[in-house]
Structure formats: C-alpha cells, structure tokens
Structure 1
C-alpha cells in the first residue's frame, strides 16, 4: 500500500480537518497542490496514479512535479504528527532535543545567557523524564563550554555527570536484567508448571544489584512488570501474577510515589491490575481499580486519555458483563465502536467487535452476533498476523456456535472442518488441548442434536476435561464450558455462565 495513504488512514476525521488547516498555515502560498493531493488520497477507495496526475496537472501529466508534491506532503505529515505527539506527551523527548539544538545554536552565536537557560530547562525536563542518556549529552555540552561566561561551576557539572552516568549504567543493567527475566519466565513457561514469578525476578535483580533501585524508579519497575505480564498472558497464569503486581504498585505508591512525569506508568499499572483482577473473576475489585484508572486519565491535561480510554471501556464492559450487567456492557461497546470522536486502532476495534459479538451471543441475539463480523473485511490469514491465533480462533468459534443455535447444521459442519484444518496444530499444545476437546463435543451435538441432555454425553464431558479449582480457572475457559453445561441442563446460557463465574 502507498505509505502516505497508510499514514492518512491512521488519522481521525478531526485530525484530517486539523491537518488541512495546518497545511494552509502559510497564507502567501496560493497553489497548494499538497493539499489537493491530501484531499484526493483521503477519499475512500483506491485512486490510480494516472488519475491523480490528471486531477493535479491536467493536460501535461507532470510526473516530476507530482513526485515533488508527494515529498512535500510527506514532510508536512511528519511535521504535523511530530507536533501532535508533542501535544499528547507530558515530556517529549523530541522537545528536549529541540531545546538542546537551539541552545547549541545560541552558544555558537554568543547568546550565552539564553543558551544556558535553555540547557537548564532541557536538563530539568530530562531529569523528570528519567532520560539519562540525553541528560549525559547535556552535561557533556555544558562541560565543554564551562569556561564561557555565565557557565555553571565545572566541579558541580562533573559531580552531576558522574551521578547521572551511574543512573545510565543502572538503566543499562536493567535492560539486560529485563531480557534475562524474559528468558527465565519463558523457560519456566515451556515446562507447563506454575511460574514462581517473585523468585525468578528477585534472583535476576540480585545478580545486577537492582533490588532496591527498581522500587525507587517506576519506569524500571514498570518495564519488568510489563515483561512478566507478557509471560503471564501467554501461559494464562493470572492467579500467581495478581499478588505480585499489586504488591509492586503499592511499594511504589508508599515509596517515591508517582508524579506528573511518570504518570504514564501509574495509569498503565492501574490498567494491568484491573485486568488481572478481571481475569481472576474479582469483579468488584477490578471495578474499583478501573475507577482509579478513569480518574487518572483525566489528570495532567488528559495526556494519556486517547491511548488508554478504549482499553478502559473494553475492560469495564467485560467486568459489567460477567457481573450480570449485560445491557450496560453492550451499550458501552456499541457507543465505543460508533463514536467518531475516538480513534480506535485496529486491535482495539477488532477486540471491541469480538467482545460485542460474544455478549450478543450470550443474550441469544444470534443474528446480531453474526452481523458484527460483517464489519471485518479481512481474511483469517490477515487477522492472524495482526491479532494472533487466539483472537482468530475465538472469532471462528463464536461464528460456529451462532450457526449451531440457528440450526444451520451444514454450516456448522463446514466451519468445524475449516477450524480443524487451520488450527489443528495448536490443539496438541498443553495450553489449547481443551479447545480441541470442546470442538469434538460441538461436532457430536451437531451430528446428534438430542445428545446433549443424555447421561452418555454428560459423562463424556466430565471425563474429557481436567478441571481445576474454579477460583483459579481461566474465565475464557469457563465461558465455553458454560455453553456446553447450559445445553446439557436445557437452561439459558447466560444464567449458567454467571453461576460458574461466581463459583
């Protein structure tokens, strides 16, 4: 695809209007071919280069001028996106680098007092952002110019540089430790046993002398927790992750605390805690952390609102749904996917569709559930690359059991064959063995619609699954098992599901 078109597609309708105004900021330029090109490329449907040439340069099809216009438009887009990013960040690395560049320019032109003031401003911002690499660059410039008028004391500069060089070394050690933690977690995960999260991380941090340091620096702790969470999501070991995650958040809050400059880590911590509590079926606690998250999104000029608000809504809807409040859950997602003011990225939109389809299905709105996926105009192969196996697999199962509920046995049979062909390799893995069992049971019900209520089928279900304590069972596994149980008991699925979730 055309790179410029790909960038334009990421812009919301409001952003596109804003960018058009941005392009018109030079009032003395009358012939804005870049604006014309932007308008043409913003339209739905592909437009061929020959048609673009005819519209932009009728008569002579000036290819050289066209390429020059494209380059200008790309530069303008990049400049606009950089400015947009700066507005959305509490402390922008780009902004600090601009201060440094301007200060160096002022030093070269003997505007010393202004230069030192600008370097001091950059220094303070870099400290607050914990960007010690940039900070060392600033000190190097200051030391190099320390004999000039208005310069800070050289000994103070040297002492400061030594201090922040040490912090930069800690950052480097933390990066190495992060990779080692990732390696050890994945190694433990491959054994299929419960991961001893705390022991693995403590051992690695001890090797690099980081045990006390990470608690004092939210960014370092957040990086470790994010890596750990990736392993937890892969292994679905949410139960052991919950106490570790909450303990680390509380240690930071009770220690250095969070501030304006590391607020990003606070709101993401709150999201991760709410998510793990949801996955562990502790919905009241999850909702209390979601409330804190929502309050946090409104702080500091709502700088992280657009990034986290869609995830907040998705999680709140899930908590509502599995707490027995399906109507507000559905309403939250319907508003989210139809809200033109909120720009959802591809993953957020597709997750919203999947959840909405699931909630419709649980309320027996089967046609509505099926229609949700009509909005997804992509092949499963494309979706696998973007969303991964688990998302595509869930989509296929929801579509399949919707057709079962509608009595379309031929379609169900075709869907089951397609799932078996495309995903069979996954069913041999420990993590997904129960999925293969579930599909085999759906096939039996599709072949014999009356079998679900027989003792024979109930015994088959009981002997097919290895059940663990319901408090530790994954909520998504319960979701599929609940549908089977509802069929066996001739009861409404959502009622049975809520009973299972409550334990």
Structure 2
C-alpha cells in the first residue's frame, strides 16, 4: 500500500486541509481514525508498526490495513471529484452558453444569441477547447444569414483554422505516444533502436506541419518529441534553439496562462537542456520561471514538480562551486515519498556524486546501501543509463575505499551485464573508461606517469567540450584527478569550465 503514502506526499497544504474537511463531512460515526491516519502519514516518517500502535494501542494488523484501504478509497474519490469540478467547470460553462445561444436562435433572438456565442468563442479560445469551438463556428455559420455584421468568409476561415489545430493536436498526441513507447524500449529495456529514423518517419507519415498557433499542451508534446531525440543522440546543443524559439513564440501571444501543468513541464525541459549544455546561468533563469509557475494557482502543482525542480537546481549549484548548498537542498528528499520515483532515484545518485566529489566516500556509501533492489527493477524505474551511472559510480567508490574484493566483483559484473549493450549502442568509450579504471586499480603508482597520460589521451575520441555530456565529463574528471593529484571536485569544475 505504498501508493497511499506516495499519493499523500503530492498533496499541497491547501489540498490536505480540503481533504480533512471532506473526511469530517463524510464520517458517519464518531470514529476519526481515518483523519488520524491521514495526519500521521502527512506529517511523520513513522513506519507502519509505529502508526498502528499510535492508532490502536496495539498491533492490530488487520484493522490497520482495512483503515488504510478505506482512506485510500476516500482519497481517490476526493481527487476525482475535486479535479472533475475544476476541469469541467469551464467546459460546462461553454456548453451552457452554446445551448442557450441555440435556444435564442430558434426563438429568432439573433442579437442575443450571437452575443452569447461570441462569449463562448472567447472562453474556448483561451482554453484551447477545439471541439467546442468547432460546434460554435458550426452554429455561427448555420445562422450567418441572420446576422448582417458577420463576414462569412472570415468565419469559415476561423472554422477551418480551428479544425487544423485540432487535427495537429491529435497527430502530435499520436506521435508523442509512439515515440514515448520507443524511448521506453531504449531507456528502460535496453533495446537497440534507430530512434532518429523512427522520428523522421513518423513526422512524414502524419504530415505534421508546425506553426505558432499551438496550445501549451501541443507545444509540450512537440518539445518532448524533440527532447526524446536529444536524449537518444545525447545532443542537447542541437535542440536548444528550437526549444527557446518555440517557447518565446507561444509566450508572446498568450497573455493568460490556461494550461499551467504543461507550461511548468516546458520550463523544466528548457532549464534541463541549458544545464546539459553547461549554460548554468540560463538554466537557473528558467528554473526561476518554473518555480514562479509552480507557486501560482494556489500551489496546485508545487508538490508534483518539487523533486524535479530541486534536483535540477542542486545540479546547477553543484557545477557552479556551490556544492554544500546543493547537498543541503537534496538531503531532505532522502526520506521523502513521492510518485516521481525516477526523480527520487536521481536525487539519491546525485547526492552520492556530490559526496564522492567531496571525498566523503563513507557518506556516499551510506546512501548507496539504500539501493537494495535488483538492477532489473532499477532499469524499469530509472532506465538503463541510470543503472550504468549507478554501477560505474559504485566501482569508483569501492576503488577509493580500497574494498578490493568488491571492486573485482563489481567490475566482472559490469563487464558481464553491460559490455554487450554498450558495444551495440556505440558507447565503447565507457568500456575504454572501465579498462583505464582497471589499469589504475592494478597499477596505482603508474597513474601520474607520462606513459599513462599518453594512454589516456589516445584512448578516447575526444568531442568538443560544448557537445560533451556533463556527466561523462564528471567521470573523466575522476580519472584526471588521479593523474594531476588534485581534488575530484576541483578537477571536475575545471574540466567542465576549461576542457
């Protein structure tokens, strides 16, 4: 029933208050244990046994599980009703306007009817309600002869334009779904797929043409498609101009925000792209915009995006000489529960990296001890690249701690489980890096020699710094720190800045 804890963790303080009121109104008996349980799960890190003891004074396991089940169902009902009211209110309002307008048209009250239709059109445009706009334009065209001020050609043009937007949104939704499915096969299953060819074929197949008249949802899906390509090819620099230009285009003509969930996603995507391109100042600027959007709308989406936001903020801080601040930002998340498991895994791995760079290896190992699932589980939750980073980091950590038996077993495991995938996906430099780690591990005294420096220099096909992946550079920085006898963190910052 960990789902219950995860769901509660996404509630804002206002939503918690609203849900407690909901429970109080619906409780038919004097029994308030569901309220007590919700408060305990919201405000403490107690385990199930301790919570059960607080509720019943003894370990009534069956009663406790039944109570959790009832609370879970109450939360589902509350969430569904709450969102139904919020999401449908605008659409229901437009439908009422449309029905009223049609009634007045039948009564030949044309002036009143068209005034109501114009109001419905304005609201539908603001909220990108393409289906309802279609009905509005259809009605206006049907009765156009009753309104001498109507320009029929202009009205037909608006009708056609709206249909194109609806079709584009539907096409993007299909392509987004197919590409997400493809990316999952690459990221979470380790399948070898030509992502770029699939992307090109899908755009050709659905004849997608992009203009500036996109909704935030459509722009988010389009940006996601492009970002999938960047992720698959590890080339974030190429997509950066498109993301910025598209966002600036849509923001220039949208005076009011009607799709905040997608707007926040877009800002995160841009901030992440800037970070991956080592443009930290720009990334922080968009993170600030993201935080502003998260704080609006009564903080409805704040908890949802909190792990992503704090993770990316801490990464920017770490690579701009503010490592202690980065650590302080993420440490509170170590014991938090959230539905965004992928971000929580990234947070733990990032903290391990910070402590590793800081030479606090035992602290890093302590967090590592929390990774008790199998690699298969972590691939499903975090992806194959996350598992590769985790396993590489663990090898380096045991090298630093001189846990010789563990180094050998982890190296053999890495070679056995990942070499085939790395070769098939043209990531042979990871294999090269491992071979250099083995060489250093077996011959630590040779690491500062000219011959080893030459070996390192000749081992990689070097990429220009602006194109190189920041996390790849971080692993290389560890090796360079051994060659130069400088601290890992100092070397990392220098590699990121100067290489």
Where on the TM-score scale, by shorter chain, does this alignment land: which range? 0.7 to 0.9
Partner of 2:131: 133
Quote the offset at 1:81 in angstroms: 1.3
Quote the offset at 1:301 in angstroms: 3.4
Quote the offset at 1:388 in angstroms: 0.6
> Matches of 1:38 and 1:138 in 2, distance apart?
49
Residue 447 (str. 1) matches residue 446 (str. 2): no
Quote the offset at 1:37 in angstroms: 12
> Matches of 1:190 and 1:39 in 2, distance apart?
45
Partner of 2:226: 228
Q: 1:117 to 1:446 in 2, by over 3 A?
A: farther
Partner of 2:343: 348
> Matches of 1:120 and 1:334 in 2, distance apart?
53
Quote the offset at 1:314 in angstroms: 1.3
Name which of 331, 334, 349 aligns with 1:334: 331
- Give ranges in structure 2 of 5+ residues lacking alignment: 53-58, 102-106, 108-113, 184-191
Name which of 316, 319, 322 aligns with 1:319: 316
Normalized against structure 2, the TM-score is what? Answer: 0.75
- Structure 1, residues 361-408: CA drift from partner, whole Å, max 9, x if none? 000010111111333443222111111111122112222211111111
Residue 458 of structure 1: SS of its match in structure 2?
helix
> Matches of 1:164 and 1:11 in 2, distance apart?
44
Residue 11 of structure 1: SS of its match in structure 2?
helix
Quote the offset at 1:412 in angstroms: 0.8
Q: 1:303 to 1:33 in 2, by over 3 A?
A: closer
Partner of 2:75: 77
> Matches of 2:64 and 2:207 in 1, distance apart?
63
Residue 429 (str. 1) matches residue 424 (str. 2): yes
> Matches of 1:25 and 1:183 in 2, distance apart?
44
Q: Is 1:192–1:430's contact at 8 Å kept on the other side of the alignment?
A: no
Residue 401 (str. 1) matches residue 396 (str. 2): yes
Residue 93 (str. 1) matches residue 87 (str. 2): yes
- Range with bigger deviation, 360-369 or 446-455: 446-455
Q: Is 1:413–1:443's contact at 8 Å kept on the other side of the alignment?
A: no
Alignment of 1:93-112 (within 5 A): 93-96=87-90
Please report the RMSD computed on the Cα atoms of aligned residues, expressed in angstroms: 4.9
Name which of 269, 287, 295 aligns with 1:272: 269
- Structure 1, residues 412-467: CA drift from partner, whole Å, max 9, x if none? 11111222222222211344221111112212222232232233322222222110
Q: Is 1:279–1:474's contact at 8 Å kept on the other side of the alignment?
A: yes
Residue 261 of structure 1: SS of its match in structure 2?
coil
Partner of 1:149: none
Residue 465 (str. 1) matches residue 460 (str. 2): yes
Partner of 1:307: 304
- Give ranges in structure 1 of 5+ residues lacking alignment: 58-65, 147-151
Q: 1:261 to 1:181 in 2, by over 3 A?
A: closer
Residue 25 of structure 2: SS of its match in structure 1?
coil
> Matches of 2:169 and 2:73 in 1, distance apart?
36
Residue 486 of structure 1: SS of its match in structure 2?
helix
Quote the offset at 1:498 in angstroms: 1.1
> Matches of 2:244 and 2:431 in 1, distance apart?
34
Q: 1:409 to 1:364 in 2, by over 3 A?
A: same
